[in-house]
Structure 1
């Protein structure tokens, strides 16, 4: 079987796939890692359990996940020998990693070099890799990078208007993130539309606690909202999104904030949380806005406005738009936010059927009327499936079990 591990900022998702990736025999999420009252939600064998756990860090969270997969009552496997390979998500591969790779000691050292590029996420991804190697010694492991899907962007999209030597000598450039999600979603959208991916111009709105707006033309990322780090682009749960970099100098000189304080503010205290003063969870912000909280209403207005600007800009950059696709936690589950974003974009061919929008139930759905010139869609993301696919293909030569897995996946794919 193939195990995927996805370490987020305060969560750890895991899924255990059958060897041909046709089914999931066990999955779950450990939430609120390092916070008060961490808990696990686990599913296997038709059972679902939720219980409080000890998870001060992601290493502990992975041990909790493995204990659940091996549990005599609600587990999915009897022994770790059933696991043939492990796939990990890593947020930032810098300019070193342009595609998924097998984990080696050298790869880990290179991944550690990328840590300053994604200080919120890369250390946590490394914790997951280290603990998985300790718990599952000798089992081949793969790391899949969020940045890799964006490596084909044209230079005009990824080079910053700084002295060119910073790019040439230090590889300071736009990298982009959530590429694993955008790669999966763009392919699924083409399948649902029954059109070749190579013909489509899409804007993918990955809206969760982290947000990426991605322009995908012909199946390739051609521009993306996040840049060198993971707080640029649109505002997010706790991250600021774009602002005038002159503010950094102002905060440092006038308010005597250290660079560390400014970084913490941009990553952890801004976005929906910073503006609303209530929460980084869009559900709570919407609830308070409806109840009359002005700052929550402002936070929603800003969130919607920033995303609209990216959609319009990317449609212009691609010379038109064939599909607007919503995905991830907010994108998949908030009809209200989807409708707000689409409002006023009729000039791009974007329309929303209110009944279809409200009826989305967790599956792929087209929420635009048939008369619309551009399709508006909801496509649930599945980063874990992409990680599993890359893991099977990269471990095909690592042993008899993995080779047979690769053959079964090829057979299942027809």
Structure 2
């Protein structure tokens, strides 16, 4: 080894990001093993590589002791002080024992170590890069499909999209570009294992942050998400600035911002509602696009009874209870939905109540199923569109 070898290591440092000292330290450790293996030595040894010239030397190491048990490992204090009077018990005495024909073995060992360390360092660099990005969004290309697992190419490595993290109804093909959410990064002997998801609620959050500058700036806060991937999602947003409409900002001009997200999620319907500290108003908004007549809440039990018009009952509950289920997840409240006629049966005096003041305005909400239809056809009652669709 010589100065040219050191220059090669410096080039590797620039190209691969592996420090020269790290490589030299690994080579020194490997040369010790090679020395013991080839020269049958059980004594302690140390290899030093000169950082300026690249020359290497092998030193035997013996401990300074009062009583010598093995001359290959120990040296008496008297003999040690003949070498240097400053030695004391517990110190280590070194003697150069570099074999004459050790150069060829050293070169071969150095090559193997460098290759191995390059691989390990690349794996560590990739691991650190992606470990710091857990909870972030990734762009990748479908590379191959094995046992229903989708392997997504990310340049120097690949991510795994497991069957449980794949969206229902999505068909993945080689070469498809996908946005995925990093769920976990594991360190394995074969390198980092990056587990990603298309169903995680965090994917929806990150997509909105990419599309809505106000979310990135912190003007708007995404308070909660409820998602049934591939079918429907609800998000609750809040604006710290009274002049900024959080729902409108997420919808975007002509619905373009939310439509881009819907397209990315292959048509998954998204309801955007305004978060409200008042639980009754928040629960009412969460049931969008259904109209709500009144909401009664029990704070201690976090239970809400919602009253809707008869013709809105099926819409409020949703197909197979989906709308009510998502609203419950979004708000964290148990929601009991009753129609006006059901309430009249339970409480005959219900029809005599003045309910005008109990009506809750849920206009601060947006449903991709109803409102995009409204914008396209200039219809003022988006809820009725959804109802008519269901009736048909």
Query: Smaller-chain TM-score range?
Result: under 0.3
Higher relative contact order (CA 8 A, sep 6+): 1
* TM-score, normalisation: structure 2: 0.25
* TM-score, normalisation: structure 1: 0.24
Larger Rg: 2
Higher strand share: 2
